[in-house]
Amino acid sequence: MYTLICAVQDLALLALFITGLVLLEWQIIVFPIVIYILVPFLNELIYNFFAKLLFTIEKEKKWMDNRYYQQEQQNKYTENLPIMYHYKYNITACGIEKLHPFDSVKYGRVFNILKEKGFMQEQNFYKPQGKVGRGLMLNLGMSQLYLLYLNYAAYISKCIEIPLFFLPASFLRWKVLDPMMFSTQGSIDAAVLSLKRGWSINLSGGYHHACRQSGGGFCIYPDICFAIEYLRKFVGIKKCMIVDLDAHQGNGHERDFINDKENTFILDFYNHSIYPADFQAAKGISLSKNVDCNTSDSEYISMLRMTLKKSLDEFKPEFLLYNAGTDCLDGDHLGQMNLSRNCIIERDQIVFEECLKRDIPLTMVLSGGYQQINAPVIADSILNLDEKLKIKNYSRKKVQNL
């Protein structure tokens, strides 16, 4: 609805601006420009007011209890795989999305491969019921000023690293922000599912450069932070661990949890010589390892196995969010690492194996990856998890009461 309102406003102002150009009336030309700059302030005040008014913690808890209880009664917890996917995850904008190297439709490609291989069917998975709500975002600490910035095409362009400042912000909201909001809700829902099933995968998400105050690196909404904060606020989970194995530093969630090392352990393997080189955010990391083009498969696997085991045994998290970026694959010009397909598959297996044998619920999100081979590798990795760890039949020992 908010996107539609913004679109109508943009079209009206554009029509007025064109009229001014045709009539050569500078007053008519300037007026819509001024209104275009000022109207988001009014929109945000009204939208935030009603979002706060209508949202309550009790209502959100009731919605969550009803939703998952009903699905449990219908045996969907045993019939459905704890995998979140929605076709609206995929970002398509008349080909404009191809200006960025990120494969913005890899989510659908992974889903289709898993379906073709017989791992998934058309209906045996979960879908987020909609976009993450404004009231929930505000309740989870999202900055109102940041939400205001997202009404301007110039700021959105900066975050997604594509020069689209000349397009109406409502178009970018419709084609870029809305899919990311679906994915963000998917990460939250997947985290809740993992508490019942022991594991879950959101076939999107992992916007680890976004925090509650700003975005960047093709990341707008801090789904990792939201998923963890949601479990804390609405389920009672306290100690959470983030394992970020994307090639880039996860500066978004590190900024969000920089002052909460007691309850949030961040293990980050990343190439220290590439974007974002956020030294302030790095203070939020509990344990980091530098990986680059000289790191071999065997070195990487050995380092991961040792540090993950030690971190899990010492910190003892109640929930783990796994940011499984695949931009560390050989040939990725942005990740600048040289890990093989088999290394990525073994990497994911190690994370799942170490969590499942300790009965630590985990949620995996896909994060970065800038080659066409990423989707097949992700799909093969999920298939391997079922082949080696039998995740389809996994039952959690300590089921969390929702």
Per domain, the residue ranges of the chain are: 1-54, 57-135+178-393
pLDDT of residue 97: 58
Residue 209 a catalytic site member: yes
Are 68 and 110 spatial neighbours (Cβ–Cβ below 8 Å)? no
CA atoms within 13 A on the CB side of 163: 0
Q: Which CATH superfamily is domain 57-135+178-393 in?
A: Histone deacetylase domain (3.40.800.20)
**The predicted structure's pLDDT at residue 107:** 95
The predicted-structure confidence for 162-190, as pLDDT tens digits, reads as follows 887 778 788 888 889 999 999 999 999 99
Q: pTM of the full predicted structure?
A: 0.91
Contact 185, 130 (CB under 8 A): yes
Helix axes 57-73, 178-197, angle to 10 degrees: 60
Burial of 44 (0-12, 13-18, 19+ CB in 10 A): buried
Q: Active-site residue among 209, 248, 253, 272? A: 209
- Given this model, what pLDDT does residue 72 score? 57
pLDDT exceeds 80 at position 12: no
Interatomic CA distance for residues 342 and 194, integer angstroms? 26
The structure tokens listed for 18 are 């064109």
Token reading at 393: 């039949």
Predicted confidence band of residue 1 (pLDDT cuts 50, 70, 90): low
pLDDT for residue 104: 79
Strands, sheet with 264-270, edge to edge from the N-terminal-most edge strand: 83-84, 199-202, 362-365, 319-323, 240-244, 264-270, 287-290
- For residues 102 and 58, the model is more confident at 58
Residue 155 has pLDDT above 90, yes or no: yes
Mean pLDDT score of the chain:
90
